[in-house]
């Protein structure tokens, strides 16, 4: 009887250890992000990603139709994380300068905590990938700029050209954020995007 139960027990153990489809998708995205965190990393291939996870490339494609879809999963995470926080700030009762400080800080803090995502945000990881991925990142930053512009426009009551002023100021802030992200990535993640941030705010805002 004991011998007859052993195969079933072993099968049950293997089944329990096998991740659920949703869990495997998360593991794949986490591994991809971790590989992107390596300073000076080459283009991430599905072969290298599969090797890191200890699975076959075919196993990856059971969860994602293409590598582009994997990057889209990372972009989804970026959008959900960042806009969830930005929306909280824009809806808060804080003053306009305080909102802008918080919004910029949130963007740079996200980058510092997720260095692998920075290579996606600045486009380095997307150079040889599907063009629609870069378009999605461009749209992401367009939306960020729109959020900044909205906050500025709401407070520009004394200006004769509130829309233009808000557009110029939002563009300036976004350029600053993009510059900090680029520097963070180019430095191999050694130059913090939050460096001298309060001093910078005192000049810009």
Q: What is the pLDDT of residue 159?
A: 64
Topology of the domain covering 2-204: Tetracycline Repressor; domain 2 (1.10.357)
Q: What is the pLDDT of residue 2?
A: 45
Length of the chain: 205
Q: What is the pLDDT of residue 155?
A: 72
Integer Cα distance of 30 and 203 in angstroms: 38
Q: What is the pLDDT of residue 154?
A: 80
Q: What is the pLDDT of residue 41?
A: 65
Chunked into runs of 10 residues, the chain (205 residues) has average pLDDT values of 47 52 88 87 87 94 94 97 96 94 98 95 92 97 96 75 86 97 94 96 89
Q: Residue 24 to residues 36, 66, 75: CA-CA distances in angstroms? A: 18, 15, 18
CB neighbour class for 167 (10 Å; exposed up to 12, middle 13-18, buried from 19): middle
Domain coordinates in residue numbering, the chain = 2-204
Integer Cα distance of 163 and 152 in angstroms: 9
- Provide the strand spans (E) within 52-157: none
Q: What is the pLDDT of residue 151?
A: 93
């Amino acid at each position: 009887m004991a011998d007859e139960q052993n195969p079933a027990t072993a099968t049950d153990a293997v089944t329990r250890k096998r991740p659920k489809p949703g869990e495997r998708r998360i593991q794949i995205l986490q591994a991809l992000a971790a590989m992107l965190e390596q300073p000076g990393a080459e283009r991430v291939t599905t072969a290298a990603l599969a090797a890191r996870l200890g699975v076959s490339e075919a196993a990856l494609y059971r969860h994602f139709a293409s590598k582009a879809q994997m990057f889209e999963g990372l972009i989804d995470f970026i959008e959900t994380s960042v806009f969830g926080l930005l929306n909280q700030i824009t809806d808060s009762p804080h003053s306009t300068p305080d909102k802008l400080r918080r919004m910029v800080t949130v963007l740079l803090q996200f980058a510092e905590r997720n260095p692998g995502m920075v290579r996606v945000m600045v486009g380095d990881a997307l150079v040889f990938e599907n063009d629609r991925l870069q378009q999605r990142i461009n749209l992401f930053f367009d939306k960020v700029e729109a959020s900044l512009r909205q906050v500025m426009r709401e407070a520009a009551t004394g200006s004769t050209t509130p829309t233009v002023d808000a557009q110029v100021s939002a563009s300036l802030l976004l350029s600053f954020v993009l510059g900090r992200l680029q520097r963070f990535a180019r430095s191999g993640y050694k130059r913090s995007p939050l460096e001298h941030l309060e001093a910078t705010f005192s000049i810009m805002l």
